[in-house]
Amino acid sequence: MTRTASLQAAEIEQRITALLERMSLDEKVGQLTLLQAGGGHIPEHLREDVRAGRVGAVLNEVHVDTANELQRIATEESRLGIPLLVGRDVIHGFTTVFPIPLGQAASWDPALVTACARVAAQESAACGVNWTFAPMLDIARDPRWGRIAESLGEDPVLAGQLGAAMVRGFQGDDLAKPGAIAACAKHFAAYGASESGRDYNSTNVPENELRNVYLPPFKAALDAGAASVMTSFSDLDGVPASANTFLLRDILREEWRSDAMVVSDWDSIRQLAVHGFTEDDRSSAFEAARAGVDLEMASTTYRDHLPSLVRDGRLTESRIDALVRNVLRLKFRLGLFESAQTDAARFAPAASPSHLALAYEAAVGSAVLLTNRDWALPLDASTLTSLAVIGPLADDPHEQLGTWVFDGDAQYSRTILDAVRAHVGDRIDVRFARGVANTRSRRTDLIDEAVALAANSEVTVLVLGEEAILSGEAHCRADVTLPGAQQALLEAVAATGTKVIVVLMTGRPLALEAAVPHAHAMLCVWHPGSMAGPAVSDLLFGVRSPSGKLPVTFPRVTGQIPIYYAHKHTGKPVTPESYIHQEDIEPRAHQVSVGNTSFHLDTHYTPLFPFGHGLSYSHVEYEHLWSSSGVLPMEGRLTLGVDVVNVGPRDTVETVQLYVRDLVGDVTRPVRELKAFTRVALARGERRTVEFTITPRDLAFYGRAQRLLVEPGRFHAWIGGSSTAELRTEFTLLDHATSA
């Protein structure tokens, strides 16, 4: 490794300044241009653009020889020899595919998330990639939104910790080391609040909610060293993110003092005019550059118009220099000026045994046992003679990989059917039927075959859910119940009297109120990646025990959306006493508002499965919640603890969660907020005391003046296994209010 790998910041800035002094205006604008590569070949126009310094970055080139040739042209044939950024969507793996990010979030395991990102970085770096467009840090509270699959869930603390873990995995401890790639925190900001869960839609988020909910994961990722930030497609308070000076200058640069490079999302600068925010491409280029977008992805409004905007005096060349500086800084930090070539032989082979072993661990760790009536799971292979495996996703090596896997190779996939057969061998008669042609199909002609198979089997493993194409970017759904004829398939199979185990393979939370009564157990495995089969098989037969917890709330019905645990109390909160279902209302009942509270008449006010929920093959009880003091001084610390007892029949891993409520605030506060969590391994019969230490800083929030406050007052605290934890204590934060 060369000395450049650990260049000091001051030296990098000096080298950038020296390089800027040598650059023409056109060459500077070239550094702000990110174009689509040829995908294995170099079009002549791209070759000439790189040679002339008209492009500073390319994306979607994963052929190492082609990437190396592009870098050779840039460093040897261009006037200034400036290397290229080579970007790729490496969202949840590369050749080896890990669970979708929402699935990884269900592990609540930062170390696992880091390890998965590290492997993804190494496999993509071997192909010449040096920059990825991940992690996605949008808080996602609407399962209709297809991109919830890419998210880390609904909670700022969980998403922030796991997003930071992903950054550390991609980037390592030195971006210039082989195998490190630059991370990109996206989409800045509040894209997860898209109206009606529709991609590219408007986001109307008050500044207070923006600061308290949507921005903290980005700050956590930047504090972890995230090298770049991507703007959102959406607008915020009427200003599209790619022209939003409040986001890009006031918050990112001035408040947070971040020097991370800012890239637009695909074509989003040109789309400023489509929004109706600008008149034409020239105005779009002006607004984006003025706001602080450093690099334009896909479109060429910068290249086409920035030079003339400078010559006409609308933009200063120093503004252009500031943008270029951020691009060059990342290239220096990546060590590209010392060595832009990739030696693939230095890297372990893609989908190596160790990489697939990690994919297996990630698939096991991300699985969430939603229900387990009468301990239907795990299955006992020694007592079974027949087993039906039914469902369109049980034996499909592609669909289990999930959304956004451009480089995932299905030849490495192990399916559930294959793994179950391998596990039981000849001892159990394992028979398979699709049941429906695919998850979207409404045809029922295949159900009879599945029913006949189930009727003659002791247990049916029914693999239902969504194909990969039903989630991800631009794949939003208005109704998040089981698609197609799957509900009919489930009911028909259950009617045979066989024990039904549902394996739910999905890219989002589904509304399963109609499905749950027909299953003896339900295991949510998300889209679990390459090693779905062995992971699910081992979970079904008790070789491994599920330990995942939900990173997002599951609604009962679609109409409850958005439903999330950290909601506000409101002035008329629903209570068990005030709730009434419409079927229980007397005919011609007198309509009054007195005593009414906030709920829907046609469904229960609680979710089907709450945030943090997840069962195991054992049973954990929480006892003796305590605090080190009833008061927390403004400059002090408070320890909260609980006894966690494994009273079940097996060893287990429990994610212990701490929630807090600020009872009175400068602005209204959520009924509960996750503040800390830890994973605890418990042997059968083991009792352990788990402790959390909090400080006043952990209780800070943005108040009416949009400043971070720490306010004195009373707080409730809960510790338990989900956001519905019942053990509660109380403490008081002392002293006067201060700025945090």
**What are the b/e assignments for 284-315, b being 16+ CB within 10 Å?**
bbbbbbbbbbbbbbbbbbbbebbbebbeeebb
pLDDT in tens, 664-679: 999 999 999 999 999 9
pLDDT of residue 725: 98
pLDDT at residue 735, rounded to an integer: 85
Report whether pLDDT(162) > 50: yes
What are the C-alpha distances in Å from 239 to residues 40, 247, 298, 702?
A: 38, 10, 21, 22
Percent of the chain scoring above 70 in pLDDT: 98
Residues 681-708 have pLDDT tens digits of: 999 999 999 999 999 999 999 999 999 9
Domains and CATH numbers, the chain: 3-346 (3.20.20.300), 620-739 (2.60.40.10)
Mean pLDDT throughout 710-720? 97
pLDDT at residue 699 in the model: 98
Nearest CA to 317 out of 327, 307, 325, 331 is that of 307
**Residue 258 and residue 294: Cα distance in Å, rounded?**
13
Q: What is the pLDDT of residues 87-131, one digit of tens each?
A: 999 999 999 999 999 999 999 999 999 999 999 999 999 999 999
* Res 1 pLDDT > 80: no
Read off the pLDDT band of 73 (50, 70, 90). Answer: very high
Cα–Cα distances (Å) from 522 to 11, 80, 616, in that order, read 57, 60, 12
Average pLDDT value for residue range 458-482: 97
The residues that are catalytic are: 265
Pair of tokens at residue 26: 């056109």
Summary mean pLDDT of the chain: 96
pLDDT at position 548 is 98
Model confidence at 74: pLDDT above 90: yes
Instruction: Using DSSP, state whether 103 is helix, strand or coil.
Output: helix
Average pLDDT over residues 621-631: 97
Residues with Cβ within 8 Å of residue 236, at least 6 apart in sequence:
189, 190, 203, 205, 210, 244, 246, 247
Instruction: Quote the pLDDT of residue 338.
Output: 96
Predicted pLDDT of residue 736: 64
The answer, yes or no, to whether residue 280 has pLDDT greater than 80, is yes
Task: Give buried/exposed letters for 652-668 (b at 16+ CB in 10 A, else e).
Answer: bbbbbbbbbbbeebbbe
pLDDT tens by residue, 30-59? 999 999 997 889 999 999 999 999 999 999
**pLDDT value at position 593?**
84
pTM, two decimal places: 0.97
Lowest-confidence segment of 240-254, 510-524, 580-594 by average pLDDT: 580-594
Is-contact 400 561, C-beta < 8 A?
no
What pLDDT, on a 0 to 100 scale, did the predictor assign at position 4?
46
Q: What is the pLDDT of residues 171-186, one digit of tens each?
A: 999 999 999 999 999 9
Tokens 């060059």 found at:
328
More confident residue, 513 or 736: 513
Of 238-252, 304-318, 351-365, 724-738, least confident by mean pLDDT is: 724-738
What tokens does 60 get?
Answer: 């979607």
Distances (CA, A) of 444 to 437, 460, 483, 491, 554: 9, 18, 13, 12, 27
**How many angstroms separate the CA atoms of 265 and 197, rounded?**
19
**Banded pLDDT at 26 (limits 50, 70, 90):** very high
Instruction: Please list the helix, strand and coil fractions of the chain in percent, rounded to the nearest 5, in that order.
Output: 35, 20, 45
pLDDT at 40 (0 to 100): 87
417 burial class (0-12, 13-18, 19+ CB within 10 angstroms)? buried
* 92 SS3 class: coil
Q: Kindly report, residue by residue over 549-596, the tens digit of the pLDDT.
A: 999 999 999 999 999 999 999 999 999 999 999 999 999 999 888 889
pLDDT tens-digit series, residues 646-666: 999 999 999 999 999 999 999
